[in-house]
Amino acid sequence: MAVKIKNVSKIYNKISVVDDLSFEIKSGEIFGLLGPNGAGKSTTIKMLITLARPSEGKIEVAGYDVVESPFAVKRNIGVVLQQTSVDGDLTVWENLEFHGRMHHIPNPQRQELIDRWLEYVELNDRRSSLVKTLSGGMKRRLQIARALLHNPQVLFLDEPTVGLDPQTRRRLWEIIKDLNRQGMTILITTHYMEEVEFLCQRVGIIDAGKLIELGTVDDFKQKYGQGIMVTQKGDRIDYQFFPTTQDANEYVNNIEDKTGIMIRPSNLEDIFVKLTGRQL
Ligand code: ADP
């Protein structure tokens, strides 16, 4: 197991913002952690990457306990957070050089790794550019190169594609898939459900600090329904699940007034909204 979370809670001001959370991530898996704003995703990631201490429970990442061996955990993880951005007043190379030194990677290996990952994220021709001159997508790719430089076992991506244009987002998806093909375990948080359907082998949905669903997207569709009937009445839209689209069609066939009714296969977003009761 790459990540083990057992009965973990995080209490801020007497409130459990993460509440008795337990799940595991297998080595080589892309795991999606979903939940509406305020659900406790960031707090969970902070505990996993040793930036916050669990109030209760036990967390192991890459085989190390986050409280007992935080440095061993840090050596074995790569992190791309929203907040920890790259330094705009340094060049692309300087950012990686700095990170490589922080991780005590000796030369010439350090330069080889910098070259390799710059090549990989297609930023080699920008190595001497100041980071503040890069586009949002380039900055994100640099963050990924930096997260990979010290050869981590587990990669944490917190909303990696937020604010990027669709082309750039798809390029990042390819990179994430390719890294996973090479054996990287990845935990990703995102509000983009099509991203989850494309990338994640398994998904955990949390709401108000609690895990409310865990499984594959197909598991969820089996459980909640593969077909959905969408009914638009004025400004209001209702959703009703059916085991299959055929069941939904049969149901609609018996309705006289079919105005505003549409049948389609259900998707993760439908299930997410049903479970968390809120649109993202
Ligand atoms: P998400 O990432 O799912 O949006 P967060 O983990 O950021 O959720 O937040 C979960 C809850 O914990 C929120 O209600 C937030 O206000 C609260 N919270 C997060 N960090 C702190 C903190 N350092 N002190 C107090 N409350 C916090």
Q: What is the CATH number of the domain that holds 136?
A: 3.40.50.300
Total domain count for the chain?
2
DSSP code, position 89: T
Identify the pLDDT of residue 279.
Answer: 46
Instruction: State which residues form the domain around 248.
Output: 225-276
Judged by DSSP in three states, 24 sits in: strand
Tell me which residue has its CA closest to atom 7 in ligand 1: 42
Same domain, 98 and 233: no
Identify the pLDDT of residue 84.
Answer: 61
Identify the pLDDT of residue 104.
Answer: 94
Ligand 1 center–CA 59 separation, angstroms:
19
Same domain, 251 and 113: no
Asked whether 189 and 41 are in contact (CB, 8 A), the reply is: yes
Give the Cα separation of 214 and 242 in Å (integer).
21
What is the value of pTM for the model shown? 0.92
Which residues have CB under 6 Å of ligand 1? 12-13, 17, 35, 37-43
Give the Cα separation of 265 and 135 in Å (integer).
36
The last residue of a domain, from among 219, 245, 262: 219
Same domain, 116 and 30: yes
The last residue of a domain, from among 219, 234, 256: 219
Ligand 1 center–CA 207 separation, angstroms:
12
Ligand 1 center–CA 12 separation, angstroms:
8
Reported as type and span, the H/E element at residue 3 is strand 3-12
Same domain, 234 and 107: no
Same domain, 41 and 168: yes
Ligand 1 center–CA 43 separation, angstroms:
6
The last residue of a domain, from among 199, 219, 239: 219
Ligand 1 center–CA 225 separation, angstroms:
32
Run means of pLDDT, 10 residues per run, the chain, 280 residues: 97 96 97 95 96 97 97 95 80 96 95 95 95 91 94 94 88 93 96 94 96 96 97 91 97 92 96 79
Same domain, 72 and 154: yes
Same domain, 53 and 180: yes
Judged by DSSP in three states, 240 sits in: strand
Give the Cα separation of 112 and 76 in Å (integer).
19
Half-sphere exposure of 132 (CA within 13 A, CB side): 4
Same domain, 240 and 143: no
The strand order across the sheet containing 236-242 reads 236-242, 227-233, 261-265
Tell me which residue has its CA closest to atom 24 in ligand 1: 12
Judged by DSSP in three states, 6 sits in: strand
Same domain, 8 and 75: yes
Same domain, 205 and 148: yes
Same domain, 65 and 89: yes
Same domain, 259 and 143: no
* Ligand 1 atom having least distance to the Cα of 206: 3
Identify the pLDDT of residue 144.
Answer: 93
